[in-house]
């Protein structure tokens, strides 16, 4: 089945997450509904002289228990998270293992940082412990495309397989590229998303140096916000061409209706308004829907001073008077900022909002910033019919990507 523009329609038949508030979709969604916070004191590595002591950690993750694939168990922490989430998504989709038509499938799983913990471990071995060599799999574990290669091998995917890298927009770009591949007939099935595992001592030192981390918590759009909170995890979708999914009786969770992307082309750190505005508008145009038809917007909402005001103003420019009626929330207030993986996890939140008729809250929002004056669903989620949902991802360097989801086709 094709759209009015002649392109094939694309649906979601599987989704998976690995997050600080849930190692699968149901646990993750239950946490969002309950307003549960996964940010806490760091336990997975020594804090030493760090002054930022909080993060959204995934604690007690054991690859021998939580990752089914022996192949992926030889990978790195970010590959483990991707493997866990991909297994949930693939299993949910009901696709065969290996995929029967391998060159008609793709696997695009990105990462903003790749094997960060492996890099740090290798440097400690060489320069602190004075070892003569690193682990023999160090190189393979570091590479930012390793997660996509691991997952592609697991499911016998032989079509386009690579990783995207666009900082906090990585997963959204991966999903958007996969969407275009299926729409244009390059593949029929795609695994898409991103994974991130940057919670290490060295990483925290580099983020501390930028002065963008909060020592207290992630409070998007709040007057008390004072920075974001790093987190780790993965968010993965399985996308399919609509008729391909129907022929095999697959569960159809949602339709991917629109994708928009832009670059601020202005500054590496300070966000612009025009870039996010145009990415949202492009996504709406691509979806062929009016702004007033969007029922829920999962904001980028990082809880940094500049981003939240900038995103608020961009939303107002795109949605006009309707912006005041739009339900908006930043689920980062609960799971933290998963960097490149954020868009994948937040896409799952949007799809669940459509399927469950519920919009998750922005917790910790007792007193909004006067410059952030929209409906951010403060503190408690609400029952609400959601037909169309938008997911925003705006990254360092001014790299913007936006997705629009709709209900499963009748």
3-state secondary structure the chain: CECCCCCECEEEEEEEEEECCECCHHHHHHHHHHCCCCCEECCCCCCCCCCCCEEECCCCCCHHHHCCCHHHHCCCHHHHHHHHHHHHHHHHHCCCCCCCCHHHEEEEEECCCCCHHHHHHHHHHHHHCCCCCCCCCHHHHHCCCHHHHHHHHHCCCCCCEECCCECECHHHHHHHHHHHHHHCCCCCEEEEEEEECCCCHHHHHHHHHHCCECCCCCCCCECCCCCECEECEEEEEEEEEHHHHHHCCCCCCEEEEEEEEEECCCCCCCCCCHHHHHHHHHHHHHHCCCHHHEEEEECCCCCCHHHHHHHHHHHHHHHHHHHHHCEEECCHHHHCECHHHHHHHHHHHHHHHHHHCEECCECCCCCECCCCCCCCCECCCEECCCCEEEEEEEECCCEEEEEEEECCCC
- Which one of 173, 300, 335, 350 is the catalytic residue? 300
**From CA 88, how far away is CA 110, in angstroms rounded?**
17
pLDDT of residue 70: 82
pTM score: 0.96
Q: Where in the chain is the domain with CATH 3.40.47.10?
A: 10-247, 260-406
Q: Which residues pair with 262 in a beta bridge?
A: 400
Catalytic (active site) residue 168: yes
Residue 156: pLDDT over 90? yes
Query: What is the token pair recorded at 83?
Result: 């493997």
Residue 125: pLDDT over 90? no
C-beta of residue 193 within 8 angstroms of C-beta of residue 234: yes
**From CA 35, how far away is CA 267, in angstroms rounded?**
34
- Which one of 66, 337, 350, 372 is the catalytic residue? 337
Instruction: Assign residue 333 a region (left: φ > 0; alpha: ψ between -120 and 50; beta: otherwise).
Output: alpha
**CA 10 to each of CA 194, 241, 277: distance values in angstroms, whole numbers, following the listed order:** 19, 5, 24
Residue 276: pLDDT over 80? yes
pLDDT of residue 140: 85
Residue 275: pLDDT over 80? yes
Torsion sign over Cα 17, 21, 25, 31: negative
Residue 71: pLDDT over 90? no
Pick from 17, 15, 40, 34: nearest CA to 336: 40
pLDDT of 86-112, one tens digit each?
Answer: 999 999 999 999 999 999 999 999 999
pLDDT band at 133 (very low <50, low <70, confident <90, very high): confident
The whole-number average pLDDT for the span 241-269 is 96
pLDDT of residue 139: 84
Question: 10-247 sits in which CATH class?
Answer: alpha beta
Residue 113: pLDDT over 90? yes
- Which one of 168, 218, 350, 372 is the catalytic residue? 168
Catalytic (active site) residue 106: no
Residue 338: pLDDT over 90? yes
Q: For the chain, what percent of residues have pLDDT higher than 90?
A: 87
pLDDT band at 267 (very low <50, low <70, confident <90, very high): confident
Question: 260-406 sits in which CATH class?
Answer: alpha beta
Residue 305: pLDDT over 90? yes
- Mean confidence (pLDDT) of the chain: 96
pLDDT of residue 369: 97
Residue 395: pLDDT over 90? yes
């Amino acid at each position: 089945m094709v759209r009015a523009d002649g392109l094939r329609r694309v649906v979601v038949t599987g989704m998976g997450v690995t997050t600080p508030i849930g190692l699968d979709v149901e646990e993750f969604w239950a946490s969002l509904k309950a307003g549960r916070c996964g940010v806490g004191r760091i336990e997975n590595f020594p804090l030493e002289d760090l002054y930022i002591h909080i993060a959204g950690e995934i604690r007690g993750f054991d690859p021998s228990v939580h990752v089914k694939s022996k192949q992926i168990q030889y990978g790195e922490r970010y590959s483990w998270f991707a493997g866990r989430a991909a297994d949930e998504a693939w299993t949910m989709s009901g696709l065969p293992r290996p995929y029967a038509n391998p060159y008609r499938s793709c696997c695009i799983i990105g990462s903003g940082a790749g094997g960060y913990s492996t890099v740090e471990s290798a440097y400690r071995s060489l320069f602190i412990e004075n070892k003569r060599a690193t682990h023999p799999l160090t190189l393979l574990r570091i590479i930012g495309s390793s997660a996509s290669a691991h997952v592609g091998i697991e499911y016998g995917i032989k079509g386009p397989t690579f990783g995207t890298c666009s900082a906090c927009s990585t997963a959204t770009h991966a999903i958007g590229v996969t969407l275009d591949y299926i729409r244009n007939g390059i593949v029929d099935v795609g695994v898409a998303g991103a994974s991130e595992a940057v919670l290490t001592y060295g990483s925290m030192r580099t983020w501390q140096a930028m002065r963008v981390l909060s020592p207290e918590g992630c409070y998007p759009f709040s007057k008390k916000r004072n920075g974001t909170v790093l987190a780790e995890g993965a968010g993965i979708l399985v996308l399919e061409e609509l008729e391909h999914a129907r022929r095999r009786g697959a569960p159809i969770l949602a339709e991917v209706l629109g994708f928009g992307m832009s670059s601020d082309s202005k500054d590496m750190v300070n966000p612009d308004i025009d870039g996010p505005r145009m990415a949202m508008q492009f996504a709406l145009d691509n979806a062929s829907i009016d702004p007033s038809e969007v029922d829920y917007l999962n904001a980028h909402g990082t809880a940094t001073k500049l981003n939240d005001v900038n995103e608020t103003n961009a939303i107002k420019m795109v949605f006009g008077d309707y912006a005041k009626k739009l339900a908006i929330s930043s689920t980062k207030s609960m799971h933290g900022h998963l960097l490149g993986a954020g868009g994948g996890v937040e896409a799952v939140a949007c799809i669940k909002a459509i399927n469950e008729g519920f919009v998750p809250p922005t917790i910790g929002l007792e007193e909004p910033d006067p410059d952030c004056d929209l409906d951010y669903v403060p503190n408690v989620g609400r029952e609400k019919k959601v037909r169309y949902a938008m997911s925003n991802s705006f990254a360092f360097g001014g790299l913007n990507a936006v997705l629009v989801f709709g209900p499963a086709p009748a």
